[in-house]
């Protein structure tokens, strides 16, 4: 299985070669992989900023714990979740579904109402948590696509979202910087690339449930 080999090859790159850039063709493949990521109800309540400009990344570096990946990598991906749930966004998704699948809007309007109802059942805290989880699924697609293309990447939560929001003007767009990732090519001097992966053993990470759990256990 090539995916396993590729995942074994990848690592969270700590030092990038600033002279090497990801090609336009490869960037389009990475964007397509992100676009194809699953999301709850298919809504994709997030936006992904791709930042190549060195000046912008220099501004973001202090808000990223001064980590060198921000400026040395080829590109910086900023995954932004929607700051709030809006009925209009659901309506837009239903309209897009109608156009894409050649279905009359009236036939699926009820599904849109169902989505709105389920989302509106959530408390404000639940909505916020739900919105902030969605971009992580898209991030996973990016990391796997990078591994497939032998492009190095580093997912990062070590940054200050509020300052990112301010610098990039995200608040005015109803967006929130949720998680970031740098992509490019590893520097040959990055010692992290030679370290064995530290992962829990299979027998600790997985448990197979082969029969119904007794009611007595469920009630405890």
Structure tokens, 51: 């930042």
Residues 6+ apart with CB under 8 A from 13: 69, 73, 152, 153, 154, 182, 184, 186, 190, 192, 193
Q: What is the pLDDT of residues 77-106, one digit of tens each?
A: 999 999 999 999 999 999 999 999 999 999
Q: Is the pLDDT of residue 45 over 90?
A: yes
Q: Is the pLDDT of residue 220 over 80?
A: no
Instruction: Give the C-alpha separation, 218 to 220, whole Å.
Output: 6
CA geometry: angle at 175 spanning 63 and 66, to 5°? 10
SS3 state at 18: coil
Full set of structural domains in the chain with CATH:
2-85+122-218 (3.40.109.10)
Rounded to an integer, the average pLDDT of 142-153 is 98
Rounded to an integer, the average pLDDT of 142-166 is 98
SS3 state at 186: strand
Write down the pTM of the prediction: 0.94
Between 40-44, 65-69, 93-97, 214-218, the lowest mean confidence (pLDDT) is in 214-218
How would you label 111-126 residue by residue, b for 16+ Cβ within 10 Å and e otherwise? Answer: ebeebbeebeeeeeee
Phi, psi of 19 (to 5 degrees): -85, -10
Rounded to an integer, the average pLDDT of 3-26 is 98
């Amino acid at each position: 299985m090539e995916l396993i080999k590729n995942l074994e090859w990848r690592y969270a790159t700590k030092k990038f070669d600033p002279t090497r850039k990801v090609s336009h063709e490869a960037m389009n493949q990475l964007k397509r992989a992100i676009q194809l990521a699953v999301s709850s109800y298919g809504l994709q309540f997030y936006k992904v900023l791709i930042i190549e400009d060195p000046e912008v990344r220099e501004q973001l570096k202090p808000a990223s714990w001064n980590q060198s990946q921000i400026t040395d990598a080829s590109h910086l991906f900023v995954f932004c979740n929607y700051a709030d749930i809006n009925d209009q966004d659901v309506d837009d998704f239903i309209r897009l579904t109608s156009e894409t699948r050649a279905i009359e809007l009236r036939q699926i309007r009820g599904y849109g109402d169902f989505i709105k109802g389920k989302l509106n059942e959530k408390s404000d805290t639940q909505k916020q948590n739900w919105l902030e989880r969605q971009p992580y699924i898209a991030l996973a697609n990016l990391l796997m696509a990078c591994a497939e293309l032998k492009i190095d990447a580093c997912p990062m939560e070590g940054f200050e979202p509020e300052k990112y929001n301010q610098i990039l003007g995200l608040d005015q767009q109803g967006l929130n910087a949720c998680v970031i990732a740098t992509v490019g090519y590893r520097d040959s001097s990055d010692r992290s690339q030679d370290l064995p992966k530290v992962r829990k053993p299979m027998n600790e990470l997985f448990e197979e449930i082969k029969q119904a759990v007794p009611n007595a256990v469920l009630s405890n």
